Structure 1
Amino acid sequence: MVGLPALPDLGGAFDRVLATAQNGLEVLRLGGLETGTEPAPFSIVETEKMFRLRRYFPDTRTDGPQVVMVPPMMVSANVYDVTEQNGAVSILHRNGITPWVIDFGSPDSEEGGMERNLADHVMAVSRAIDLIIEATGRDIHLAGYSQGGMFAYQTAAYRRSSGIASVITFGSPVDVLAALPLGLPAGLVVPGAELLADKVFNRLWVPGWMARAGFQLVDPVKTARSRIDFLRKLHDRDALLPREDQRRFIEAEGWVAWSGPAVAELLRQFVVHNRMMSGGFVINGDLVSLTEITCPVLAFVGDADDIGQPLAVRGILRAAPGADVYESRVPVGHFGLVVGSTAGAHTWPTTSDWVSWQEGTGERPPLVEEMPETQDPHGTGVSMSSRITHGLGSVADAGAGVSRELLGIATSLQRTSRAVAQESVRTVPRLLRLGQIQSGTRISLGKLMSENSKRAADKELFLFENRVLTHAQVNARIDNVVAGLIECGVRPGSHVGVMMDTRPSALVVVAALSRLGAVAVLLSSDGDGDIPEMLRLGECLTVVTDPNHLDVAAKHSDRVLVLGGGSGESRDIDSADGASIIDMERIDPDAVTIPSWYRRDPGLAGDLAFILFTRSGGNLAPWPVTNHRFAMSAFGAASAAGLTDRDTVYCLPPLHHASGLLTTLGATVVGRSRIALSERIDPETFAMEVHRYGVTVVSYTWTMLREIVRTPDFRVNQYNPIRLFMGSGMPAGLWSEVLESYPRARVLEFFATADGSAILSNVSGDRVGSMGQALPETNPVEVAAFDVVRNRLIIDGSGYVRKAGVGEVGLLMAKARHRVDTSSTVLRDVFIARDRWEVSGHLFRRDAADDLWFFGSVETVIRTSTGPVYVPPIEFALSQVRGVDQVAVYGVGEPDQQVAVAAVTTRSIAGKSESLTVSALRIGLGGLPAEERPHLIWVVDEIPVSDSYRPQASRLARRGVPKPGARVWYRDPAGRYRRYTRNVAAEANWSGFDASEQASS
């Protein structure tokens, strides 16, 4: 008998349709299926404008460990209580821990919520911590998910870990640019983030639905798949209920709005500037760095997390070197770190065990390990196997894969080519503007600062003593000082001395004088004896000073204006010693009548802007700087250093030095960078402020970095943000040690002639001691053949000056392109007919790579009976000798009969000076011809330095030829060094100089 086909189960199909309809109707009506679960009990223990503080399970005792949990801005505080059994608060409570949750609410329904910024959230967390400590008498464990973990890090740094037993984070990125969501390249994301921060989110806000959509778009394939899976199982209520609370949270209930200012600040500080890593972010007006976190840290890392990617999360190890940092790896994506079955089985039990371990009541959890130091710099930390295993979408996979491939190609290019590509966008416009400046162009320091204030009014400009001043605040202060100067009788063209420490008030005074059209005469207080001569040469009858230099200024000037150092009401500044002293802090700028002649920023390129001072033949000489010369240095240095508003420049040189005024202040204003100022230069302050300010560029002069680099116990985080040291005069030995101490940084050494006609820089930074080449768009330079003995240019057979050959020492000359902008000697018809060249007075040698090497000025050449001896090559060689600390080379005696003396100090280790051997001297000076080595090498206790840290050889030269002794060596006829004894001194005749007389004295 043939069997009949089985009939379909119509009753079962009907039941499925009916169940689907019933469940679908419930979803449409209620937003989801009714699960019957209840949220964990909590009470609101404090309500403030920014937050409500929840204490869960309020009926239980609170004498155990306390955990404070912080949600992200865009996620509801209920994220820690999504599921009844696996929720964070329930698991922590079952383990004897009191859970507290900070509820920021939804900004769009809170009073003033849409004006909230990041600092408001951090201050709210800090305030909640204080309330809990006050109520319980215990330090707390601070936990945060995603951006809530970033808040936790920032709060711990802001409080310097006070009251915090440990920090626990879940998928919270620190090195944001190391691994952006979807593997997007930073070079693509950063400009877009900056544009959104400055042009979009300062006007708009992000509603909750948009935050939800953005989260889901991170993996659109997975989102679509989960929704289809939900619809396919809609008939099976029992299969859906275990995950229904989690689904409803993700699909609808878990999202809140973002305020525009908070989003803008997030993008600006922690994406564009990546200041979680570099430091120097601003909280409530204070500068903060994660290096100030000292409590233990546990970071949960999602193996498949494409938002808080492992590489970005692990940045905390480098950002917080003072903390013990641990991690726990979880095989989930971003949301699964805190919600779901894996979180219930791994994240929250491990968190409980961590708290017990930190409280001393348990062992280290088995799933917690020390965070590894070695990281893959080219990946994100999310492996392909993790993506496949945990179901992340193929679109995300493709995006990440392509991005990493592109990044791999980019990093394979040569460093110089990459640098050119990165810098061209911002460098070319600067150089074009510099090239277009004519004598009648309006350009000045004051005008540049006015332009910056219009473009970036609310961005930080000055960082000093943990205080922050924005462009707008500084600009308003400049205008107020201008009003005060007008009230004190200062007019355009007036020469006004400035004698102040490198503080914000000093920079404001210089900018105010520029805005007024007056001339700032920068005075050094290093040595009272020079000040009257500076005032005479600078033609200034008025001096602006700070309280620290008031006595010195009043001693030498009849009219002194005092600015800075605090409010005029709290200090007593009166006229003394016949001088007229005016406290400018007591002048009300609003009460000053601005005269009709005042024109804001009137300076033209050809106008005199500043007067610095230099020494020529031991005598002070004025160094006039026009607005054009200032612009050449400022634009050129900013381009060479690649400065942008993402840089923070640590300004160490005094303003009266060219490195302080031109290279640092000028270049940072052009680059719109932040300027960090310091009251002192010592290793401890340097290490602290580099991280607190987020310093990326350090400016210096001469031996300024010596104590910082060579102090035996000096320690700085190896992951510090410094990328560049820029300045002038650094000895070669110190230069090499700086590169060794900061292997990720380079040294950018500038050289400028006294009149600013030639500006050189070793832009590549890969040749220690080289001055490089002329900066683009500054005056071209040439090395002319020069007879040092006869002190004259060498003429070739055609009657023109011969250009010096490769390796030949000659005279540096700068092509004169602006007729009205020079104070030096200008020669015509030099190399060809009708050319014009400015004579620098400095000697250089050009090498085969076209780089220039400094051989001193014509006046510093030591003229011995056997020929010229150049100072810089000796200092270059000796500074690299093992055990040598400082070097100063000088000549003693009459011209053509001089003795070349090299004074050196030796380094001290544990209070004991290192020994200096003849072998070390022979090897160190071996590259110089015997006749160009010093006659005597003298180990001295100290080499005096100026306030710009330049070794002052003139003070040693006044002491004459050193006396014979165990710390002096002389050069024998073969060029070797031997001990300088009384017998040698009695018999020697150093190039005609009678040493026996010195030996017997």
Structure 2
Amino acid sequence: MKAETGHEASRNALKAWVRALERTAPLAQNPAQTFPVLIDSLAERFGSAPALLSDGESMTYLALAERSRRYTRWALEQSLSPGDVVCLLMPNCPEYVAIWLGITRVGAIVSLLNTQLTGDALAHAINIVAPKQLIVGAALADALAGVSGRIPASIQRWAHGENQHGMARIDHEIERCEEAGLSRTEYRQPTLADRALYIYTSGTTGLPKAVNVSHFRLMLWSHWFAGMMGTRPDDRIYNCLPMYHSVGGVTAIGAALVNGGSVMIRKRFSASRFWDEVVESECTIFAYIGELCRYLVNMPPHPSEPRHRLRLACGNGMGAGVWEEFQIRFKIPQILEFYAATEGNFSLYNCEGRVGSVGRIPAFLRHRLAVELVKFDHETGEPTRDKNGFCTRCAINETGEAIGRIPAESASMSGRFEGYADRAATERKILRNVFEHGDAWYRTGDLMRRDEAGFFYFVDRIGDTFRWKGENVSTVEVAATVSKSPGVTETVVYGVPIPGNEGRAGMIAAVVREPFDLAAFRRYLVGELAEYARPLFLRIREAIEATGTFKPRKIDLMRESYDPSVTEDTIYFNDPDRQSFVKIDPELFAKIQSGRMRL
């Protein structure tokens, strides 16, 4: 792989920014041009060309448009009005896209439920958006049935595929719906300003929050990433990211489709099958999160590695320790690392290949993309203020919270913070009177630093959230679930680093009493928490120390981690092979530290 010179990298980065601007600048000029409308026009243009592919299903552009229109007619038959909500709980597949395209075409909102949620977390995610209808993939029908008593009985439930719970089959229902185009008189078309999706995020505290995603943002994300990646009709994106997330469900799909390319959709990531699948499907772009890249570099050489056609890997969370090995070993011509949040009002892109950076903003765009780092007080959990009450910008290479300016003019759609379904949660993410009276900025909750050349580097999350297996884990959410388990009287949850792994693994420090049962406790966690949120370590304590404001003191616990030599407390490891909690002794501790233990 030939390395780019500094000048070449800068020149190519500039081209990528210009392409993105050219694609997105005209979007607001046609308020009726939503993504479902665009799909209809793409079908006329690309017809029989492949759009969405998978092992068991494939759709051409024409088939995708026609399938989505069946769901549009179904939505009309259900008397769904603009603003009504339909929840979608379904594994990755081409049909997933057709469903939300068709329903959002009439102005209804589709709520993309996290397929890993169970128990109270799943019920909460459904209830906060107050849906009228709910569509569940047959493979997830049991999870939905498990919370049936915790959600309103008035929600009409539909299964896609055969199920054992007596739910009506939507896949049968839509077969009688016409796939022909609809006239303007049959329904009221939504505009770009209208809400299209709810996409969930853990946020910094509490249970999942439903992020408002407008039709404008769907168009913006799709066209912007198409420009940044320079997608072409001969591109095929390998997408194994969950489709309930904004990258796997919108940007990786839209960026390919708007330029006539295709997407290979996988249900899940497999390190052992990855290279065979990429080669066999002739993919040219890989949509990643950093954790997947770490898995791949830790795998032994695969015979298909040298035969791939990947020209670009685009994603976020690629650590500096993985980046160079991943790019050099697998001969990936370009890494496009970016920083973004589903609810965020700005993004950063590293088009120049600066290892470890999430990107920078070109000088000619700084007036449009106002991003600042402000000094942060870890004691108060708020940005620091000077004597005049204003925030203080960070110096070069000084760590602070990243914030993005919310434009004052209400007519501007770019840079707007659309917030959450919960208005109070939306207000908590807005920082006011930051540099002058009356200004407003979006709080990312992320700590970053910026170097002399203007490159930003992600440092850490603020508050009670840590990242594990590519997912944000809320300690508040996990602690609330753990505290309901029989025998648990007090608990504190935190993340601990494990050598050779990205992010932090979950750990519980708990005070317990009879009838606490270790095996029953583990079964409870499996039933109530998504796999990525289940703590790997459990520390049993006599008491949990608290601060002067009665908050649990985590600092010492986090420092001591899961090392049995620094405490008399019993510490357990949630062993995935034994499917049980096992006591950590010096030998097991050394095995985990050395990376010989499968996590």
Q: TM-score, normalised by structure 1?
A: 0.44
Q: Which residue of 1 aligns with 2:64?
A: 474
Q: Which residue of 2 aligns with 1:904?
A: 498
Match of residue 196, structure 2, among 600, 603, 609: 609
The verdict on how the C-alpha distance between 1:725 and 1:546 changes in structure 2, with shifts beyond 3 A counting, is: same
Quote the sequence identity (%).
Answer: 21
The verdict on how the C-alpha distance between 1:598 and 1:858 changes in structure 2, with shifts beyond 3 A counting, is: farther
Q: Which residue of 1 aligns with 2:464?
A: 860
Shift of 1:650: 0.9
Q: Distance in 2 between matches of 1:605 and 1:517?
A: 10
Q: Distance in 1 between matches of 2:223 and 2:540?
A: 44
> Aligned letter for 2:158?
L
CA offsets per residue over residues 225-248 of structure 1, 9 Å max, x none? Answer: xxxxxxxxxxxxxxxxxxxxxxxx
Q: Which residue of 2 aligns with 1:453?
A: 43
Q: Does 1:535 align with 2:139?
A: no
Shift of 1:652: 0.8
CA offsets per residue over residues 169-214 of structure 1, 9 Å max, x none? Answer: xxxxxxxxxxxxxxxxxxxxxxxxxxxxxxxxxxxxxxxxxxxxxx
Q: Which residue of 2 aligns with 1:523?
A: 113
Matches within 5 A, 1:51-200: none
Bigger CA drift: 798-807 or 470-479? 798-807
CA contact (8 A) 2:241 2:268 kept: no
Shift of 1:515: 1.7
CA contact (8 A) 2:69 2:181 kept: no
CA contact (8 A) 2:16 2:229 kept: no
Shift of 1:815: 1.1
Q: Does 1:782 align with 2:369?
A: no
Q: Which residue of 2 aligns with 1:985?
A: 567
Match of residue 433, structure 1, among 9, 21, 26: 26
Q: Distance in 1 between matches of 2:560 and 2:157?
A: 54
Q: Does 1:552 align with 2:143?
A: yes
Q: Distance in 2 between matches of 1:412 and 1:713?
A: 29
Shift of 1:417: 5.1
Shift of 1:803: 1.0
Q: Does 1:843 align with 2:447?
A: yes
Match of residue 465, structure 1, among 51, 55, 61: 55
Shift of 1:498: 0.9
Q: Distance in 2 between matches of 1:447 and 1:595?
A: 12
Shift of 1:648: 0.8
Q: Which residue of 1 aligns with 2:9?
A: 416
> Aligned letter for 2:451?
D
Q: How many residues align?
A: 502
Q: Distance in 2 between matches of 1:899 and 1:552?
A: 25
Matches within 5 A, 1:629-648: 629-648=217-236
The verdict on how the C-alpha distance between 1:413 and 1:596 changes in structure 2, with shifts beyond 3 A counting, is: closer
Q: Distance in 2 between matches of 1:498 and 1:447?
A: 21
Q: Distance in 2 between matches of 1:815 and 1:901?
A: 31
Q: Distance in 1 between matches of 2:117 and 2:358?
A: 30
Displaced runs of 4+ in structure 1, greater than 4 A?
420-426, 572-575, 579-583, 591-597, 774-779, 885-893, 898-901, 957-962, 976-982
Q: Distance in 1 between matches of 2:456 and 2:531?
A: 23
CA offsets per residue over residues 266-321 of structure 1, 9 Å max, x none? Answer: xxxxxxxxxxxxxxxxxxxxxxxxxxxxxxxxxxxxxxxxxxxxxxxxxxxxxxxx
CA offsets per residue over residues 604-650 of structure 1, 9 Å max, x none? Answer: 22211111112242422222212233333333322222222231111
Q: Which residue of 2 aligns with 1:494?
A: 84
Q: Does 1:771 align with 2:375?
A: no
Shift of 1:494: 1.7
CA contact (8 A) 1:499 1:544 kept: yes
CA offsets per residue over residues 536-585 of structure 1, 9 Å max, x none? Answer: 0121131123332234345537522334x6xxxxxx66862xx5554445
The verdict on how the C-alpha distance between 1:466 and 1:655 changes in structure 2, with shifts beyond 3 A counting, is: closer
CA contact (8 A) 2:239 2:252 kept: yes
The verdict on how the C-alpha distance between 1:627 and 1:960 changes in structure 2, with shifts beyond 3 A counting, is: farther
Find the residue that maps to 1:538 and give its secondary structure. coil
Q: Distance in 1 between matches of 2:472 and 2:244?
A: 24
Shift of 1:731: 4.5
The verdict on how the C-alpha distance between 1:753 and 1:595 changes in structure 2, with shifts beyond 3 A counting, is: same
CA contact (8 A) 1:782 1:814 kept: yes
Bigger CA drift: 690-699 or 733-742? 733-742
Find the residue that maps to 1:587 and give its secondary structure. helix
Q: Which residue of 2 aligns with 1:328?
A: none
CA offsets per residue over residues 46-96 of structure 1, 9 Å max, x none? Answer: xxxxxxxxxxxxxxxxxxxxxxxxxxxxxxxxxxxxxxxxxxxxxxxxxxx
Q: Does 1:628 align with 2:216?
A: yes
The verdict on how the C-alpha distance between 1:711 and 1:604 changes in structure 2, with shifts beyond 3 A counting, is: same
The verdict on how the C-alpha distance between 1:488 and 1:575 changes in structure 2, with shifts beyond 3 A counting, is: farther
Shift of 1:683: 4.1
Q: Distance in 1 between matches of 2:207 and 2:10?
A: 45
Shift of 1:797: 4.9
CA contact (8 A) 1:478 1:509 kept: yes
Unaligned runs of 5+ in 1: 1-376, 379-410, 566-571, 862-870, 880-884, 908-923, 925-933, 937-944, 963-972, 988-997
Q: Distance in 2 between matches of 1:593 and 1:413?
A: 50
Q: Distance in 2 between matches of 1:672 and 1:486?
A: 29
Shift of 1:985: 2.1
The verdict on how the C-alpha distance between 1:622 and 1:561 changes in structure 2, with shifts beyond 3 A counting, is: same
Find the residue that maps to 2:225 and give its secondary structure. helix
Instruction: Report the structure, 1 or 2, having the larger helix content.
Output: 1
> Aligned letter for 1:613?
Y
Shift of 1:429: 1.9
> Aligned letter for 1:787?
D
Find the residue that maps to 2:104 and give its secondary structure. helix
Q: Which residue of 2 aligns with 1:131?
A: none
Unaligned runs of 5+ in 2: 411-415, 420-425, 480-491, 509-524, 543-555, 570-583, 586-599
> Aligned letter for 2:458?
F
Shift of 1:528: 1.7
> Aligned letter for 1:559?
Q
Matches within 5 A, 1:664-679: 664-679=252-267
The verdict on how the C-alpha distance between 1:951 and 1:798 changes in structure 2, with shifts beyond 3 A counting, is: farther
> Aligned letter for 1:845?
R
CA contact (8 A) 1:431 1:636 kept: yes
Matches within 5 A, 1:730-769: 730-768=318-356
Find the residue that maps to 1:856 and give its secondary structure. strand
Q: Distance in 1 between matches of 2:475 and 2:165?
A: 44
> Aligned letter for 1:493?
G
CA offsets per residue over residues 422-451 of structure 1, 9 Å max, x none? Answer: 6577444214235xx27x823432123223
Shift of 1:418: 5.1
Q: Distance in 2 between matches of 1:525 and 1:559?
A: 19
Bigger CA drift: 524-533 or 547-556? 547-556
Q: Rg bigger for which structure? A: 1
CA contact (8 A) 1:499 1:549 kept: yes
Match of residue 791, structure 1, among 381, 402, 405: 381
Shift of 1:850: 1.6
Match of residue 276, structure 2, among 688, 696, 699: 688
- The one of the two structures with greater contact order (alpha-carbon pairs below 8 A, sep at least 6) is 2
Find the residue that maps to 1:668 and give its secondary structure. helix
CA contact (8 A) 2:400 2:448 kept: yes
Q: TM-score, normalised by structure 2?
A: 0.71
Find the residue that maps to 1:636 and give its secondary structure. helix
Q: Which residue of 2 aligns with 1:115?
A: none
Find the residue that maps to 2:375 and give its secondary structure. strand
Q: Distance in 1 between matches of 2:439 and 2:89?
A: 41
CA contact (8 A) 1:695 1:722 kept: yes
Shift of 1:906: 6.2
Matches within 5 A, 1:246-265: none
Matches within 5 A, 1:206-225: none
